[in-house]
Every structure is written in C-alpha cells, then in structure tokens.
C-alpha cells in the first residue's frame, strides 16, 4: 500500500498532483477541503459549522476534521492506498492522525511537501476557477477548459470562484497555514517520511518528481 500525506500551502498544487497520482496509482484521494465543500453544499451540520471558518480562511477545529478523516479512512473502498490532501494541518491533527492510522492499520508511507513561493501561490489562487457540477479545477493563466465555457471532465457550463480564493480571504489563509507548515515538515522529517518537491515547475514536471518517489515504493 502507498499511503501519502501531501503537505503544501493553499495553491501549492496538492489537488492537481493528486489527480495525476490517482490516474497512475489508483489511490483513494481524500481531500478535507473537498469534503467540507460537499458538506457545505448539502448544508449538513458539519458543513454549516465548517462554513463559518472556511469563508474567513481559518481552520476548521481539529476534532471536527479528524472525525471526518477517520470515518473516510475506515471505508472499505480504500484498496491500493490513500492520498491525504490538506490533512493534517496542525501538530494536534498530526498526532490525531497517528492514532487513526494505528487503529485502522493504515500507516503513512510517504509525506510529500510541495514547495511554492508565496507570490506564485497568490497568483494561482486568484486565477483559479471551478466547475460547479463536478468540482474540476481550472486556471485563467495555466489551465483553461479545452472547449470554451465547457468543463473537460463533465461537460458542465457553470463555473465559479471559491469564496476563499477571493483576495481578502487568501491573505489570512496563507498566514494561518504558513504558521503550521514548518512544524509539520519537522514532525515528518523526524519520522523519516518527508520528501520535498519543487512545486514551482509545470504540473508535468512536478508529477515526474512525485512519481520518482512513489515508484520506489512499489
């Protein structure tokens, strides 16, 4: 099994590289951000609670997030392994995850940190837009749909900008996440799980580096 945690600031390309990993390795992609957006769209209790944090660029409380992850990681569809995208984001979450993976006997095998400069992150987030129907991610500068106004994945025509990609929220999101990034890297470095990947390059080049790490695990 390959069980990955993808670490990276907002806009580092975690979602983008996750899609490429899933295509090649058939791992289960678990994005806490996507799970919260689904919950918000369905107006569930968790979704309504999460919205009050996410819309401001703050983190959802550790216990709420960890519970969601434990439920998801416990599902039987995870056969080849998993990618955790956006969890853990605090040291408390990292410790909670250790308990979860021990209970489920699904330990992390790799932590990959995507490193991208802040000015690049800001540019990427302000240019990102999403398909409302399937959640596919696009970018006004680097990744427009192949057919104008039509989603490559589902054919949908309704696109939107995430509330938390608006400039006033991005600043706080980056600040909140930057605080925890270095301690998390240290935590996984000490466990000899960490590989740092330069995320400034094209998505194809980034994936090549990630692939080189993962192919050693097979």
> Among all residues, which ones are annotated catalytic?
14, 89, 128, 162, 173
Per-residue tokens: 207: 């994936």
Residue nearest to ligand AP5 (CB): 33
Q: Is 201 annotated as a binding residue?
A: yes
Percent of residues in the chain assigned helix, strand, coil, to nearest 5: 50, 15, 35
Helix (H) or strand (E) holding 15: helix 14-25
Q: How many CA atoms lie within 13 A of 154 on its CB side?
A: 12
> Considering beta carbons, is residue 69 or 214 the nearer one to ligand AP5?
69
Residue 145 as a binder of ligand AP5 (CB under 6 A): the answer is no
> In 3D, which of 71, 78, 100 has the Cα closest to residue 88?
100
Are residues 137 and 37 in contact, defined by beta-carbon separation less than 8 angstroms?
no
Q: Nearest 10 degrees: CA dihedral of 70, 130, 38, 68? A: 10
The only residue of 7, 15, 39, 210 in contact with ligand AP5, by rule CB under 6 A:
15
Q: Is 134 annotated as a binding residue?
A: yes
Residue 54 as a binder of ligand AP5 (CB under 6 A): the answer is yes
Are residues 113 and 194 in contact, defined by beta-carbon separation less than 8 angstroms?
yes
Q: For 147, which DSSP code?
A: B
Q: Measured between alpha carbons, how far is 211 from 191 in angstroms, rounded to an integer?
A: 21
Q: Is 41 annotated as a binding residue?
A: no
> Considering beta carbons, is residue 72 or 128 the nearer one to ligand AP5?
128
The only residue of 82, 96, 124, 145 in contact with ligand AP5, by rule CB under 6 A:
124
> Considering beta carbons, is residue 93 or 214 the nearer one to ligand AP5?
93
The only residue of 38, 53, 91, 193 in contact with ligand AP5, by rule CB under 6 A:
53
Which residues fall in the annotated binding site?
11-16, 32, 37, 58-60, 86-89, 93, 128, 131, 134, 137-138, 151, 154, 162, 173, 201
Binding site for ligand AP5 (CB under 6 A): 8, 10-16, 31-33, 36, 53-54, 57-60, 65, 86-89, 93, 124, 128, 137, 139, 142-143, 164, 173, 199, 202-203, 206
């Amino acid at each position: 099994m390959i069980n990955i945690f993808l670490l990276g600031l907002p806009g580092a390309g975690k979602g983008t590289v996750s899609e490429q990993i899933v295509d090649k390795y058939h791992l289960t992609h678990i994005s806490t951000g996507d799970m919260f957006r689904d919950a918000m769209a369905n107006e569930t209790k968790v979704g309504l609670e999460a919205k009050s944090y996410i819309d401001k660029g703050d983190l959802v409380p550790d216990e709420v997030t960890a519970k969601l992850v434990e439920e998801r990681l416990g599902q039987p569809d995870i056969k080849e392994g998993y990618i955790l995208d956006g969890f853990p984001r605090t040291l408390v979450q990292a410790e909670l995850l250790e308990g979860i993976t021990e209970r489920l006997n699904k330990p992390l095998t790799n932590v990959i940190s995507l490193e991208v400069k802040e000015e690049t992150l800001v540019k990427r987030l302000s240019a990102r837009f999403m398909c409302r129907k399937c959640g596919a991610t696009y970018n006004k500068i680097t990744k427009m749909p192949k057919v104008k106004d039509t989603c490559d994945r589902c054919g949908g025509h309704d696109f939107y900008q995430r509330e938390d990609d608006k400039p006033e929220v991005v600043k706080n999101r980056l600040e909140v996440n930057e605080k925890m990034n270095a301690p998390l890297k240290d935590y996984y470095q000490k466990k000899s799980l960490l590989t740092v990947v330069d995320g400034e390059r094209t998505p194809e080049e980034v994936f090549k580096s990630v692939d080189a790490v993962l192919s050693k695990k097979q």
